Structure 1
Amino acid sequence: MTSHQNTQTMKPATAAKKLGVYLEATPAEFQEGVVSRAELTALQADPPQWLQDLRLNGPHPRPVVASKLGVSIAGLARGGVTDALTTEQIEAIKAEQPEWLQKERTTQAEVRKETVRIKARDAERAAKSQDQRS
């Protein structure tokens, strides 16, 4: 019995997410087809010009926008940002420093601090538990 290997493919939306680009801004042939794992790897290793341009100038998907602004995706929504933004639009928001952005950055910093504190607490508890077993 011989086994043949099926090529794993993904929907364009999944591939765009893995590439960190906004699907609607990709070329039509990318949006309409399927992407194999090998094609995705090739796009990541040697991005074509359209992919380089999208990564540089956008429009960027919400996770990328949130990251560039230093806030959460929920923070973007609370700030009224629901669409993909270009790099130029993101830079304009950074320069303007609206109140919602300042508030969300503060919230994000507090969340990160709390995450670090919880990790340290859990590591300490794990170490105590390990010592008690020994």
Structure 2
Amino acid sequence: MSAEKKSQTMKAATAAKKLGIYLPAAPEEFRDREVSRSELAELTAAPPAWLATLRADGPHPREVVAQKLGISISGLARSGVDQALTTAEIKDLLAAPPAWLVQERATQAAVRAENARVKARNAERAARTES
């Protein structure tokens, strides 16, 4: 007398985030329903044409835009970029970077260097305490 097992579902926004796509650009039949874990796995393993196009050409969500530009999401916000960008727009920004992009990339490089320094310092401290 066990109950029928119901598969777990997630909101379309969660599925879009996991797929790395901008939800408003997805087809309506994807946006307006819940997605099961098995459907998400299927979309990841064998993406349909609309998903492949969205991943390649955009528009992309902020996380992907920031990653492609080599800056943080906070850097996008500081620069006033709050809309989704296409791959072509990102390439244009990288080809002729505006001052804000140059500054944010320098900031991101400094943060990465500091994180590496702290990680090395902590590893050195851990090695000393083990000895």
Q: Please identify, of 17-26 and 113-122, the stretch whose mean Cα deviation from structure 2 is larger.
A: 113-122
* Equivalent position of 2:86 in the other structure: 86
How many Å separate the matches in 2 of 1:5 and 1:71?
44
Shift of 1:95: 1.5
Report 1:96-111 matches (<5 A).
96-111=96-111
What pairs with 1:10-25 in structure 2 (closer than 5 Å)? Answer: 10-25=10-25
* Shift in Å, 1:22: 0.1
Shift >4 Å, 4+ stretches: none
Between the aligned partners of 1:130 and 1:4, the Cα distance in structure 2 is 53
Task: Give the 3 Å change call, closer, same or farther, for CA 3–118 of structure 1 in structure 2.
Answer: farther
Distance 1:2 1:110, change over 3 A: same
Change (3 A) 1:57 1:125: same
Aligned residue pairs total: 131
The percentage of aligned residue pairs carrying the same residue is: 59
Cross-structure match for 2:55? 55
Task: Give TM-score, length-normalised by structure 2.
Answer: 0.95
Q: CA deviation at 1:52?
A: 0.3
